[in-house]
């Protein structure tokens, strides 16, 4: 009897781990449907549907994989067809699974990741925010085994509603939500709202600017297993470093990986991380432009040395301008070991970086890989596969 994890089905669909969040799927608050990762997801759905139709046995095996990741992407134009599609999806998720006729085993129980993006209600053809809220609540309520969620409608929700969502999804591992939390009511303190709460399943949080304020007052006991944080950079926020420091001073003690956008503040942000994150082994740096230079590294290394860091992630693609800065690849060959003396891996975080690096040609790629090898560092792509001298 074939089981749901039979390797042949995973190989046939040919996609990375469905629970891994790929930020390059998005441009602002709108999913980039032209990206390769999104195209691979769509292609995998075709394969999974085909497998389901082969026989009853194959249908039993493939159905959980067909529903394990759902992507509801926004698009321009009239959204009436999209609304009808979502309604059909909601009805389907409530249907019994092929494995059982029990209501406790509906198709919604197979969903482990939900990516939901929708426009912000700027004209009459789009969902109103109230309708978006109701749709999201109804969808996630049918997915008790949800592990990763990325929801991008832009509005505020009460903290108590968010807690109800967390209470109903005890397997949730990764949270990426664009909406902010509403301010507490007069006389009500944010910290008191989290009293007695604990969510040990959550390990990765992709933060938003004003979520930082709300979560900075939350005791560490609420998220005892939080080990990875993605912290964005907001150039319009004059107190960016203060917010970052406040959050990391509370939640940094358990972190193993941090992904941040230092802009021109690499030295200051690494000082904060070195002080408050004693267990950190991975640092991911996201740059829109080549703010990182030899002098940047030299200035930072005077005051910062982080010997526990073994992996450095780099992303240097500007999604606003849809291009890389000139000679962006030189950032790979900077003296990173001056900051991270135990460094043994540099990983490119974005698919766009990997694509362009391969387009530079074997000679240039060979120089970069050779430099990394001479420094005792391996160079990896965004799926943790090694670059080799011949570019394969």
Question: 142 versus 131: which is more confidently predicted?
Answer: 142
- Residue 306: band (very low, low, confident or very high) from pLDDT cuts 50, 70, 90: very high
76 has a pLDDT exceeding 80: no
At residue 63 the predicted structure's pLDDT band, cuts being 50, 70 and 90, is confident
Which tens digits make up the pLDDT trace of 226-239?
A: 999 988 766 556 77
Does residue 137 carry a pLDDT above 50?
Answer: yes
The pTM of the full predicted model, rounded to 2 decimals, is 0.76
pLDDT value at 298 more than 70: yes
pLDDT for residue 345: 97
Averaged pLDDT of the chain: 79
The pLDDT value recorded for residue 25 is 47
What would the pLDDT profile of 241-256 be if each residue is shown by its tens digit?
888 898 899 899 999 9
Q: Name the more confident of 64 and 282.
A: 282
- Rounded to the nearest 10 degrees, what angle do helices 56-67 and 36-52 cross at? 150
Edge-to-edge strands, sheet with 345-348: 69-72, 113-116, 148-151, 174-177, 204-206, 228-231, 257-260, 282-286, 311-315, 345-348, 378-380
Given a contact cutoff of 8 angstroms between Cβ atoms, the answer to whether 157 and 182 are in contact is: yes
Q: What is the pLDDT of residues 257-271, one digit of tens each?
A: 999 888 888 999 999
Q: Give the pLDDT of residue 198.
A: 94
pLDDT of residue 376: 94
Q: Quick one: pLDDT at residue 293?
A: 86
Whole-number pLDDT of residue 129: 60
C-alpha pair distances (Å), 63 with each of 36, 60, 74, 157 = 24, 6, 25, 33
- pLDDT tier for residue 153 given thresholds of 50, 70 and 90: low
Residues contacting residue 385 through CB under 8 Å, at least 6 positions apart: none
Q: How confident is the model at residue 122 (pLDDT cuts 50, 70, 90)?
A: very low
pLDDT 10s digits, 314-342: 988 776 667 777 788 888 999 999 999 99
CA proximity to 245, closest of 270, 278, 211, 220: 270
d(CA 227, CA 173): 10
Query: Rounded to whole angstroms, what are the CA distances from 233 to 239, 262, 367?
Result: 11, 7, 32
Look at 119-128, 260-269, 298-307, 339-348 and tell me which has the smallest mean pLDDT: 119-128
pLDDT band at 280 (very low <50, low <70, confident <90, very high): very high
d(CA 93, CA 287): 40
| Topology (CATH) of 227-391 | 3.80.10
Q: What local confidence, expressed as pLDDT, does residue 82 receive?
A: 67
So what's the pLDDT on residue 340? 96
pLDDT band at residue 7 using 50, 70 and 90 as cut-offs? low
pLDDT at residue 265, as a whole number: 87
């Amino acid at each position: 009897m074939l089981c749901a994890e039979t390797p042949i089905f995973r190989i046939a669909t040919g996609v990375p781990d469905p629970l891994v969040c790929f930020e390059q799927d998005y441009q602002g608050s709108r999913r980039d449907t032209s990206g390769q990762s999104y195209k691979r997801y769509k292609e995998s759905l075709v394969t999974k549907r085909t497998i389901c139709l082969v026989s009853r046995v194959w249908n039993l095996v493939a159905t959980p994989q067909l529903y394990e990741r759902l992507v509801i992407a926004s698009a321009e134009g009239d959204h009436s067809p999209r609304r009808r599609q979502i309604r059909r999806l909601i009805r389907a998720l409530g249907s019994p699974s092929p494995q059982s006729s029990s209501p406790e085993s509906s198709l919604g129980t197979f969903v482990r990741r939900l990516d939901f993006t929708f426009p912000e209600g700027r004209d009459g053809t789009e969902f109103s925010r109230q309708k978006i809220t109701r749709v999201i609540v109804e969808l996630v309520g049918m997915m008790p085994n949800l592990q990763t969620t990325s929801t991008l409608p832009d509005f505020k929700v009460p903290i108590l509603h968010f807690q109800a969502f967390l209470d109903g999804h005890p397997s949730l591992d990764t949270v990426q939500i664009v909406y902010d939390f509403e301010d507490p009511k007069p006389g009500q303190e944010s910290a008191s709202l989290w009293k007695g709460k604990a969510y040990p399943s959550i390990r990765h949080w992709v933060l938003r600017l004003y979520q930082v304020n709300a979560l900075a007052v939350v005791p560490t006991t609420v998220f005892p297993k939080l080990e990875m944080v993605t912290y964005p950079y907001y150039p319009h926020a004059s107190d960016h470093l203060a917010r970052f420091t406040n959050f990391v001073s509370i939640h940094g003690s358990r972190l193993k990986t941090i992904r941040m956008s230092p802009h021109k503040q690499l030295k200051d942000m690494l000082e904060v991380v070195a002080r408050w994150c004693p267990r950190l082994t991975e640092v991911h740096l996201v740059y829109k432009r080549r703010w990182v230079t030899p002098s940047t590294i030299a200035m930072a290394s005077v005051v910062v040395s982080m010997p526990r860091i073994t992996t450095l992630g780099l992303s240097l693609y500007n999604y606003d301008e849809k291009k890389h800065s000139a000679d962006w690849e030189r950032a790979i060959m900077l003296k990173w070991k001056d900051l991270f003396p135990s460094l043994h891996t540099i990983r490119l975080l974005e698919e766009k970086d990997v694509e362009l690096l391969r387009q530079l040609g074997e000679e240039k790629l060979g120089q970069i890989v050779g430099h990394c090898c001479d420094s005792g560092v391996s160079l990896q792509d965004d799926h943790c596969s090694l670059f080799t001298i011949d570019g394969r």
